[in-house]
Amino acid sequence: MSITPPKFPLNDRFRGFLPVVVDVETGGFDCIRHALLEIAAAPIEFDENGQLAVGQIHSTHVIPFEGSEIDPKSLEVTGIDISHPFRDAKQERAALDHIFAPIRQAVKRNNCTRAILVGHNASFDLGFLNAAVARVGHKRNPFHPFSTLDTVTLAAMAYGQTVLSKAVMAAGMTWNNGDAHSAVYDTERTAQLFCKIVNGWGKTL
């Protein structure tokens, strides 16, 4: 399948890295012990005007790996019901394939060398991603293993805010607490925040 190159490829903007916003919802804070329950990812690409824009969001629920732990308090925060019949969760290997395949296509489309994870507290998301990759022995992970772009730092610099909801509202966007802690919603808002800050760099935000 041929890939149509974008009008403005991103390969020269971030040292050959393609920014990809990732959010994970989990069964706790320990990426080794606690389950990965949901993951969403959105590539950042240039639009027809040469401005950063949010690409298509890819997401999936994830079946907890064997022997994993789930803190009930985490489920209260995320609202995830791991036994819901319509959750349509995938095993970790299939979940990673589902996320990685379109990201690799976006990397290739933009003439980049690999993806770099963008997140709000990005080390948390990258930790769970890397742990899942290690558990299943995935060999085609498009993400850099340790470099990230963190919207906590960017939002603190631009708006004096570090909490995602407050940063999003300080940037002039809406925030719905009822939708928060969904991987898709948090990815979308984090991606929009990243684009707003980077596009406004050197301008009045």
Task: Report the alpha-carbon distance of residue 165 to residue 86 in Å, rounded.
Answer: 28
Token pair in block for residue 158: 């631009």
Task: Report the alpha-carbon distance of residue 190 to residue 193 in Å, rounded.
Answer: 5
Q: With CA atoms as reference, report the closest residue to 63 among 32, 99, 39, 30.
A: 39
Report the Cα 88 to chain-centroid distance in Å: 20
Active-site annotation holder among 98, 138, 144, 181: 181
Q: With CA atoms as reference, report the closest residue to 90 among 128, 132, 62, 131.
A: 62
Task: Report the alpha-carbon distance of residue 21 to residue 49 in Å, rounded.
Answer: 21
Q: Known catalytic residue: 144?
A: no
Residue type, 6: P
Phi-psi sector, 54: left (phi>0), alpha (psi -120 to 50), beta: beta
Task: Report the alpha-carbon distance of residue 166 to residue 70 in Å, rounded.
Answer: 28
Token pair in block for residue 143: 């993400």
Please identify every residue annotated as catalytic.
Answer: 181
